[in-house]
Chains A and B, each alone.
Chain A
Amino acid sequence: MTLIAFFVLALLLIASALVVITHRNPVTAAVALAFNLVAISGLYMVLDAQFIGLLQVIIYAGAIMVLILFVIMLLNLREEVKAHPAGTFQRILAPIASLLFAIVIGRAFWLSAPSSFPESAKDFGTAASLGKELFTRFYYPFEAISLLLIVAMIGAVLLAKRKVS
């Protein structure tokens, strides 16, 4: 059962990622990315990490995708302009290099990872266990990341603000 779910989700993930990187219309690419993010959340659920899976839907598929779609709407982008002639070399070389990259990393993973998951702990991936860790052992990183969010928010507002003349 989980195996079927995994293969369906993996297929969805790769197909939607291909649409994201090949489609010229930014809105279609953004919707494919939303699909991709929801499929990854499904994969987290299959791997028993429910809380992270829910966060994935809320943060990525909710907040970040809305932000990206909103900016696309704001800039009124249509089809991406035709490929730059100087970039064709890069366009041919990039997939080859990335394929080699995937083979190297995939092989390293394949050789080093165990072939089956151990039995998961009872509180693995629950909001309670993660919250306890977050507010005890990882308290200072948590505060630092909240500071980072505020800085990013102020920076985004300053950057995107129209200059008052």
Chain B
Amino acid sequence: MIDPRLVLVLSAVLLALGVVGVLTSSSAISILMCVELMLNAGNLALITFARIRGGPEAQIYVFFVMTLAAAEAAAGLAIVIALFRLRGTTDVDEINLLKW
């Protein structure tokens, strides 16, 4: 059987990869995709905890996080579309209206 520690370390690695993506990519859509990556890493850790403990609670949390991710993706992508219409780009370095 699998070692739960391995799964947890895998989820930590995936989270770190998502952080790298958020910090280094300049397109807003890429950043949103990397946020999805990070949410999934968190979900993976939660499912592992659920399996260790054996109860349904952590799985319910994963269900809520998935719903939240869907809402986040819908609102985030709508903002990207609105920004693209306004500025003609999705490059976050170009979007600095609120920057001092």
Residues of A within 8 A of B (CB): 2-3, 6, 10, 13-14, 17-18, 20-21, 26, 29-30, 33, 36-37, 40, 43-44, 46-49, 51-52, 55-56, 59-60, 63-64, 67-68, 71-72, 74-75, 77, 80-81, 83-84, 86-87, 90-91, 94-95, 97-99, 101-102, 105-106, 109-110, 113-118, 120-121, 124-125, 129-130, 133-134, 138, 141, 145, 148-149, 151-153, 155-160, 162
Classify the secondary structure of B's interface with A: helix
In the complex, which of the residues B3, B34, B47 has the most CB atoms of chain A within 10 Å of its own CB atom? B47
In the complex, which of the residues A36, A74, A91, A117 has the most CB atoms of chain B within 10 Å of its own CB atom? A117
Check B23–A138 contact: CB distance below 8 A: no
Check B63–A160 contact: CB distance below 8 A: no
Closest approach, in angstroms, between the C-beta of B46 and any C-beta of chain A? Answer: 9
Closest approach, in angstroms, between the C-beta of A113 and any C-beta of chain B? Answer: 5
Interfacial chain B residues near A72, Cβ < 8 Å: 29
Number of residues on chain B facing chain A (CB within 8 A): 71
Residue B98, interface by CB 8 Å: no
Interfacial chain B residues near A94, Cβ < 8 Å: 19-20, 23-24
Interfacial chain B residues near A68, Cβ < 8 Å: 29, 32-33, 73, 77
Interfacial chain B residues near A113, Cβ < 8 Å: 4-5, 8, 48, 52
Residues of B within 8 A of A (CB): 1-21, 23-27, 29-30, 32-34, 36-37, 40, 43-45, 47-48, 50-52, 54, 56-57, 59-60, 62-64, 66-75, 77-82, 84-85, 90-91, 93
**Total inter-chain residue pairs, C-beta < 8 Å:** 242
Check B54–A20 contact: CB distance below 8 A: no
Check B9–A106 contact: CB distance below 8 A: yes
Picked from A18, A114, A130, the residue with its CB within 8 Å of the CB of B60 is A130
Check B4–A116 contact: CB distance below 8 A: yes
Picked from A37, A87, A133, the residue with its CB within 8 Å of the CB of B93 is A87
Closest approach, in angstroms, between the C-beta of A138 and any C-beta of chain B? Answer: 5
**In whole angstroms, how far apart are the Cα atoms of A141 and B3 in the complex?**
32
**In whole angstroms, how far apart are the Cα atoms of A39 and B56 in the complex?**
22
- 6 nearest interchain CB pairs? A21-B21, A152-B71, A102-B16, A94-B23, A109-B8, A159-B78
